[in-house]
Amino acid sequence: MNPNPQPAPSLEIQDWGLTRYVEAFERQKVLVDLRRRGSIADHLVFTQHQPVYTLGLRKGADRHLIWDAAACQAHGIEVVRSNRGGDITYHGPGQLVGYPIISLQARRDLHAYLRDLESVVIKTLKRFGLSSQRRSGKTGIWLGSRKICAIGVAVRSWVTYHGFALNVNTDMKHFSGIVPCGISDASVTSMADELAAPVDLHAVQATLAVEFKNVFPNT
């Protein structure tokens, strides 16, 4: 019996709308278990989260939370510990979060997966006239010293979860409550800030889906 059944290559795209981070995490875990068993094909989930600071597994991430509990509550921001990689980041409305639930059994290379995920975002931003790049030694996508997309992933039995968070029309003042991703020598930005106008979230989501299929053609 095949211990790692692989359904026929395909990709199901879901839009969960606005979600609480903890609820979306539980839904991710259900999909991961189903994908591990081969009961479903690969998935790409899109969502926007209600305001939340999430703390990753990097040591000392909690030291990068600037606002105290009262300040976070006053701004309506939850604080949640996560099992994703990376430091602390912010999620909120206007930010597109992508959660790929895909099997890496065929190649088992997490570093290559991260680079491919970065490529999806870089190619998407280029379609909107923004020239972005990786930054040596740091995960995520940058425009010079301004971070526009955070990436933090996890795998279970070579099935991925968590993913990327692209600032589109994000309320950037909420980043003032943290040292984003623990990086003190850089700033954060959004597509709206860079283009000096609100951006069509649906158009960005559709482009991300197309570029994801281009970069991951076997899903």
Tracing tokens 């040292």 back to the chain, one arrives at 179
Please give the pLDDT value at position 2: 44
Alpha-carbon span 76 to 17, nearest angstrom: 19
For the purposes of burial, counting CB atoms within 10 Å of the CB of 136, is it exposed (0-12), middle (13-18) or buried (19 or more)? exposed
pLDDT tens for the chain, 219 residues: list them. 344 545 545 899 999 999 999 999 999 999 999 999 999 999 999 999 999 998 888 777 777 888 988 999 999 999 999 888 778 889 999 999 999 999 999 989 999 999 999 999 999 999 999 999 998 878 889 999 899 999 989 999 999 999 999 999 999 999 988 876 656 556 899 999 999 999 999 999 999 999 999 999 876
pLDDT, residue 87, reads 80
The backbone torsions φ and ψ at residue 183, rounded to the nearest 5 degrees and listed phi first, read -105, 110
Sign, Cα dihedral of 21, 114, 209, 101: negative
Which are the catalytic amino acids?
181
Domain definitions of the chain by residue range: 12-215
CATH topology of domain 12-215: BirA Bifunctional Protein; domain 2 (3.30.930)
- Asked whether the beta carbons of 187 and 147 are under 8 A apart, the reply is yes
